[in-house]
Amino acid sequence: MVQYNFKNITVVPNGKDFIDIILSRTQRQTPTVVHKGYAISRLRQFYMRKVKYTQTNYYDKLSTIIDEFPRLDDIHPFYGDLLHVLYNKDHYKLALGQINTARNLISKIAKDYVRLLKYGDSLYRCKCLKVAALGRMCTVIKRVAPSLAYLEQIRQHMARLPSIDPNTRTILICGYPNVGKSSFINKITRADVDVQPYAFTTKSLFVGHTDYKYLRYQVIDTPGILDRPFEDRNIIEMCSITALAHLRAAVLFFLDISGSCGYTIAQQAALFHSIKSLFMNKPLTIVCNKTDLQPLEGISEEDKKLVMEMKAEAMKTVIGQGGEPTDDQGVLLTMSTLTEDGVIAVKNAACERLLDQRVEIKMKSKKINDCLNRFHVAIPKPRDQKERPPCIPQAVLEAKAKQAAEKEKRKTEKDLENENGGAGVYSASLKKNYILANDEWKEDVLPEILDGHNVYDFIDPDILQRLEELEQEEGLRQAEEVDDDFEMDGKELTPEEQQALAEIRKKKSLLIQQHRIKKSTAESRPIVPRKFDKDKQFTTRRMGRQLSALGLDPSKAIDRARSRSRGRKRERSPDNECGDAMDIDVDTPNKKLRMRSRSQSRSVSRPPGEVVPGEGFKDSAQKVKAQKLAKKSSKKRNKDARRGEADRVIPTLKPKHLFSGKRSTGKTDRR
Amino acid sequence: MPQGDYIDLHRKRYGYRLDHFERKRKKEAREVHKRSQIAQKALGIKGKMFAKKRYAEKAQMKKTLAMHEESSTRRKVDDDVSKGAVPAYLLDRENTTRAKVLSNTIKQKRKEKAGKWEVPLPKVRPVAEDEMFKVLRTGKRKTKQWKRMITKATFVGPAFTRKPPKYERFIRPSGLRFTKAHVTHPELKCTFNLDIIGVKKNPNGQMYTSLGVMTRGTIIEVNVSELGLVTPAGKVVWGKYAQVTNNPENDGCINAVLLV
């Protein structure tokens, strides 16, 4: 199926631009650097490539032109004739033929010069040959430039031709100039054809679409035709003649019975009779327009006779279609486009007749037999006169009636709204269906801010449950504390012993606390060797303290340690001189650890590991997962003692242990 | 049928934009600056092409301006007294000037004897032998070097057959054989594609003439029957001499000028 869409033809460049495009493409897409000293085969290949590339490009572009322009013999005869009328078939074919010749010439040139390039023995010679080859190809195109310009003009014009489908339902409007054809098409379709009082306003075919019985019809408006011998017709009239000749359409012949178009009915009748040969096998309707100026009954006798003659002619087509000879309603119609009186009737009549004709043809064709057996509606033959209506059981009828009644009984919010004044006036009470403990609370207003806090932050649907749990825990904890105060061996402790016990307990609890902290942060704390300790925990003074706590004399050990250490800096930081035999200060020295242990303000009523849903997570599990992911992503960095993502410091670029020493046996070829 | 009138139709119905003319004027005024910007910024081959185009435009503009500036002036016309003009009172006397007129045939015969012809290219660059011939090594061990391949354009007649390959010393590759030449008529200034009949003389030596090598300055004989020249006696001229004016091995074609 050839497409009638001529809009897809690629643009034809004009001669000079064509040459520029191809040459610049050659310059861009092929290698550009070559030197005198290269091997001769390489030089030859370099230049041969350029010649070949240019030829290929020319060939491709010219081939697209030749292929995309339609061949006048391959398309529907309507379009073939239309294009012939507009562009003159011979010129068109000549232009395309010239392009074809140019293409072949270019191929030949390229072949010859590639053959010559094989004998090139110097860079200069090869270059001259390439220049000559490209120059000759471009000269061929220069010579063919007028054809290219002509084809570009044709392409532009073709792209704007109206897209008329020659095979679908079509209504064709014809008649003298200025009889009201364009006004009619403006009325029944959305086409916006220029309507002016001078003749030949419409200079080309215009297409509009209209619907009838759920089918789409094409309506084609033609330029007016004058009554002239066939050879004298100009291009514009030839367009309409072509349309009439080739399209199988319903024809509406427009007649201006008021004569305001400037031509008498006699002239119009003469035209009708001269082109009636074109109306064969087409449902013809005579339409008398401008009845607001002159009704059909009021015309003179001769004119009426002429009109009746035309009607008789039109009746012949009805007979030819297989309609009844006496059926003359769709043949002669009157209307006025100005008052829109009878316009729809004309359209319906034309569509109806066209449809009938097409259906007739389809019925007669062979294809219909495939579908015919699908159209059968079986109706049983009545065997007697008894009336047999459809039977619906009584229960179903009752149920239906009840449903209908129910629908009416229930009052919807919409009904309420309509009763009370409509959409803008009545606002529905959204609170009336609230379920509350006390119904009087329904209309209460909930405050949003109280004492500077958002009330919503403190609302918890499970608050009562949580209160219960809290109280339970409190009770348990108090019970535990009471258990703590127990006596050892049933004896009372002396105050010193009690003090010692308290100290021991404190120390133990601190140790446990520190151990817990260490354990909890071990995952994300770098392992720092002892010599880099920031907190200055491992000092000689500490060692002295520990030793003296054990009862040993530390001074010698301290001296030994100090003599070993290299160039200690003077310590600026004040050493905590606490007399206790404790290594750890009362407050944990590491601020970070301190912060961590007094972790975020969390309500004490919650166990430490519990995760509250909130903050955008749909439940605790998701939040736990998110927290895990967060920890996981920072764990590695923390282990490496990096400050953050951006910390990419390499403390030693060449660690000695990796770059020293000889390599032992093994596969290596460098030592 | 005009289908591109939708723009005009719209203008007819709805008129122009309120600022249409001002915008148009301003856009046109800006074109000048844009063009100068492009001229300054375009680099490479694009820049060169643009510069060339622009130069041509400017030259043309200058010419038209100069033409417009020309005014019609009245100059004194100097009528030189033509030689031999005789005052009225001597008109009846016939003064004859004697001159020696040699007939054309005698002139031609003299030229032929001298061997000097008037040709468009009297002197050409001599072509060395190593430029003309390429040595081909043959033999089982590729040691024999007596064969030569001609690297310039040649002409071999239609009845040419090669010597047996074992014995041919000069190889004229078929890719470099030409049969047609683009011959320009010096007076008519038009060029015809004519067949070559033979090589008459190669200025580099008669060995080359006998081999049929065509280099720049070679005199060739071409078939001019399509020009339709006729001798005064009534005979049709079908062969004429022409001189090669280009280097055929560099251009891939033979351009020659007809010797009239």
pLDDT at A573 over 60: no
Give the predicted TM-score (pTM) of the model: 0.61
Higher-confidence position of B94 and A11: A11
> In terms of CA atoms, which chain A residue is nearest residue B172?
A119
Are A119 and B3 inside 8 Å of each other by CB? no
Angstrom distance (rounded) from CA B2 to CA A565: 104
Q: Which residues in chain B touch residue A223, judged by CB atoms under 8 angstroms apart?
A: 1
Tell me the CA distances in angstroms from B118 to A184, B69, B122, B258, one per residue in order.
83, 46, 7, 12
Average pLDDT (B82-101) is: 67
Q: pLDDT value at position A307?
A: 84
Instruction: Report chain B residues whose CB lies below 8 A from the CB of A112.
Output: 252
Q: Give Cβ neighbours of residue B186 (< 8 Å, ≥ 6 apart).
A: B120, B257, B258, B260
CB neighbours of A60 closer than 8 A, spacing ≥ 6? none
pLDDT bin (cut points 50, 70, 90) of residue A372 is confident
A43-65 confidence digits (pLDDT tens): 999 999 999 999 999 999 999 99
CB contact under 8 A, B45 and A27: yes
Query: What's the rounded Cα separation, in Å, for the pair A11 and A153?
Result: 10
A99 and A113, same domain (yes or no):
yes
Residue of chain A whose alpha carbon sits nearest to that of B131: A121
**Beta strand pairing status for A449-450 and A453-454?**
antiparallel
Residues A39 and A65 in one domain: yes
Residue of B250, B253, B254 best to disrupt the A interface, most CBs of A under 10 A: B250
Is B251 in contact with A132 (Cβ distance < 8 A)? yes
**A175 lies in the same domain as A229:** yes
- Interface contact flag, B3 A157, Cβ < 8 Å: yes
User: Is the Cβ pair A119, B151 closer than 8 Å?
Assistant: yes
Query: Which residues in chain B are contacts of A160 at CB distance < 8 A?
Result: 3-4
Specify if A281 maps to a domain.
yes
**Is residue A124 domain-shared with residue A176, that is, in the same domain?**
no
Residue A568's pLDDT is what?
53
Residue A178 and residue A138 share a domain: no
How far apart are alpha carbons A271 and A265 in whole angstroms? Answer: 10
Q: Tell me, yes or no, whether A145 and A174 share the same domain.
A: no
Contact A557, A541 (CB under 8 A): no
Q: In which domain, by residue range, is A321 found?
A: 163-366
Q: If pLDDT is split at 50, 70 and 90, which confidence band does A1 have?
A: very low
User: In this structure, is the dihedral angle defined by the CA atoms of residues A414, A416, A419 and A421, taken in order, positive or negative?
Assistant: negative
A208 and A344 fall within a common domain: yes
- Between A56-65, A585-594, A598-607, B11-20, the lowest mean confidence (pLDDT) is in A585-594
For residues A100 and A120, membership in a common domain is answered with yes
Domain check: are A198 and A134 in the same one? no
Residue A235's CATH number: 3.40.50.300
CA distance A115 to chain B (A): 6
Task: Please report the number of interchain residue pairs, chain A to chain B, with beta-carbon separation below 8 angstroms.
Answer: 51
Q: Could you give all domains of chain B from N- to C-terminal order, each with its CATH number?
A: 6-66 (no CATH), 129-258 (2.40.10.310)
Q: What is the mean pLDDT of chain A?
A: 83
**Cα distance from N-terminal residue to C-terminal residue, chain B:** 55
Q: Is A263 within the bounds of a domain?
A: yes
State the complex-level ipTM. Answer: 0.79
Q: How far is A80 from chain B (nearest CA, A)?
A: 15
- Tracing tokens 């003298």 back to the chain, one arrives at A176
The answer to whether the Cβ–Cβ distance between A236 and B1 falls below 8 Å is yes
* Residues A450-460, mean pLDDT to the nearest whole number: 85
pLDDT of residue A178: 84
Residue A575, pLDDT above cutoff 60: no
A326 close to A315: Cβ distance less than 8 angstroms: no
In a domain, A122, yes or no: yes
Searching chain B, which residue's CA lies closest to the CA of residue A83? B1
Q: What is the pLDDT of residue A533?
A: 75
- With an 8 Å Cβ cutoff, is B223 touching chain A? no
pLDDT digits (tens, 9 = 90+) for B153-187: 999 999 998 889 889 999 999 999 999 999 999 99
The confidence score (pLDDT) of residue A272 equals 86
Cβ B249–A236 below 8 Å, yes or no?
Answer: no
Please report, to the nearest 10 degrees, the dihedral formed by the alpha carbons of residues A49, A53, A56, A62 taken in order.
-150
B253 touches chain A (CB under 8 A): yes
Q: Are residues A65 and A184 in the same domain?
A: no
Q: Is A443 a domain residue?
A: no
A350 interfacial to chain B (CB closer than 8 Å): no
Using the 3D structure, point to which of A339, A366, A393 is the last residue of a domain: A366
What value does the mean pLDDT take over residues A287-294? 84
3-state class of B214 per DSSP? strand
Beta strands in chain B, from DSSP E residues, in sequence order = 133-138, 144-150, 153-154, 170-171, 180-184, 191-201, 213-214, 219-223, 239-244, 255-258
Residues A208 and A86 in one domain: no
- Is A21 at the interface with chain B, CB within 8 A? no
- Whether residue B176 lies within 8 A of chain A, CB to CB, comes out as yes
Closest-CA residue of chain B to A123: B250
- Residue B176: list chain A partners with CB under 8 A: 116, 119
CB contact under 8 A, B252 and A27: no
Comparing A130 with A409, the larger pLDDT belongs to: A130
What integer pLDDT is reported at residue B58 of this predicted model? 95
State how many domains chain A has.
Answer: 2
The pLDDT tens digits for A126-176 are: 999 999 999 999 999 999 999 999 999 999 888 888 888 888 899 998 888
- Asked which of A105, A135, A157 is the last residue of a domain, the reply is A157
- Measure B4 CA to nearest chain A CA, in Å: 7
Residue A215 lies in a domain: yes
What is the SS3 assignment for A597-661? Answer: HCCCCCCCCCCCCCCCCCCCCCCHHHHHHHHHHHHHHHHHHHHCCCCCCCCCCCCCCCCHHHHCC
Look at A252-266, A653-667, B17-31, B213-227 and tell me which has the smallest mean pLDDT.
Answer: A653-667
pLDDT at B196: 96
**A119 and chain B: CB distance < 8 Å anywhere?**
yes
Nearest chain A Cα to B253, which residue?
Answer: A132
Residue A648 domain-assigned (yes or no): no
Report the range out of A21-30, A402-411, A488-497, B111-120 with the highest average pLDDT.
A21-30
Under an 8 A CB cutoff, do A203 and B1 touch?
A: yes
Q: Residue A116's domain is classified under what CATH number?
A: 1.20.120.1190
Which pLDDT score is estimated for A105? 97
What pLDDT is attached to residue A47?
96
> A479 lies in a domain?
no
User: Of A366, A383, A409, at which residue does a domain stop?
Assistant: A366
User: What does the pLDDT read at residue A591?
Assistant: 57
pLDDT at B13 exceeding the cut of 50 = yes
Do A148 and A60 belong together in one domain?
yes
| Nearest beta carbon to residue A128 from set B9, B46, B251 | B251
pLDDT-derived band at A597 (thresholds 50, 70, 90) equals low
Q: In the predicted model, is pLDDT for residue A578 greater than 50? A: no
What gap in Å lies between CA A330 and CA A159, rounded to an integer?
Answer: 37
Q: How far apart are the first and last CA of chain A?
A: 78
In a domain, A423, yes or no: no
Nearest to A129 among B9, B45, B250 (CB): B250
Contact check, Cβ <8 Å, A194/B9: yes
pLDDT at A587: 47
